[in-house]
Amino acid sequence: MRRIFVGMISLVLLLSGSILAGSLPRYSRKLEPGGMSPAVRYEIPYLNDRIAEEYQSLALGVEGKFYSAVDFPLIKAICRVLEENLLPGADIVFVIDHTSSMRDDIDEVARELKSITERLESAGKVRMGVVSFSDVRSGTEYGYQSLDLNLDYSGVGKFLDRIDLVGSVEDIYGAIWKTVDEFTWESQSKRMIVVISDEAPAVGRETDFTEADVFLKCKSENVVLFPILIDKNEN
């Protein structure tokens, strides 16, 4: 009888431990997206894993590179993009998600982009442009706003200060396609789009474009993509 009682107690403790363990969120895991190089791994909180996979796919489809600002300050990710990819005479456009989920990050984004203008000036004749977007498909000014490429960065700060958080549709594909199509690309050294967002690209009825459309459009103008993922868990 004593053995049966002890056995029952052990079983209860075992089940309790399993239930408790199962109720705890798994914070992180090794991310090794399918189709990517086995050497490419990121330690990213699990809620961001799916988004990171899509960003990597988007970048590598046009020979770009995905950067994470999940475990590092945003400025560090931006500086890495510039240090590893910027060339004298380059065209670079920062495409910023201004949906409501960015409420915890938009001030930091604006501050850090203002701070890099000196770095761009020292790189030599780098033209800079800025875009803020949400529901591009809506065709409204709140869905897509832009400041075209220019060597004069004086308008960048004013543009960033005017960004309002509107909408909930992250039409990243639409924003990239429209930027490639409408901006005055001139650089013969490098043409770059840096996307800053905390969400996966909208698909289906929320956008007029697919990832394949973006690849074709970027390749038509020799534009390379560098998506930066901001931590989704903080929002």
Q: Where are the alpha helices (DSSP H) in the chain?
A: 2-23, 49-60, 74-85, 106-115, 117-123, 154-161, 172-182, 211-220
Mean per-residue pLDDT, 75-99 = 95
Confidence of residue 147 (pLDDT cuts 50, 70, 90): very high
Fold adopted by 47-234: Rossmann fold (3.40.50)
The pLDDT tens digits for 148-181 are 999 999 899 999 999 999 999 999 999 999 999 9
pLDDT for res 117 = 84
Q: Which residue has the tokens 């790189």?
A: 123
- Of residues 85, 69, 72, 81, the one with CA closest to residue 116: 81
Instruction: Flag whether pLDDT at 229 surpasses 80.
Output: yes
Per DSSP, the chain holds a count of helices (H) and strands (E) of 8, 8
Mean per-residue pLDDT, 109-120 = 89
pTM: 0.80
* DSSP assignment letter at 152: -
Give the domain ranges of the chain.
47-234
Mean per-residue pLDDT, 192-200 = 96
Among 2-11, 180-189, 221-230, which stretch is predicted with the lowest mean pLDDT?
Answer: 2-11
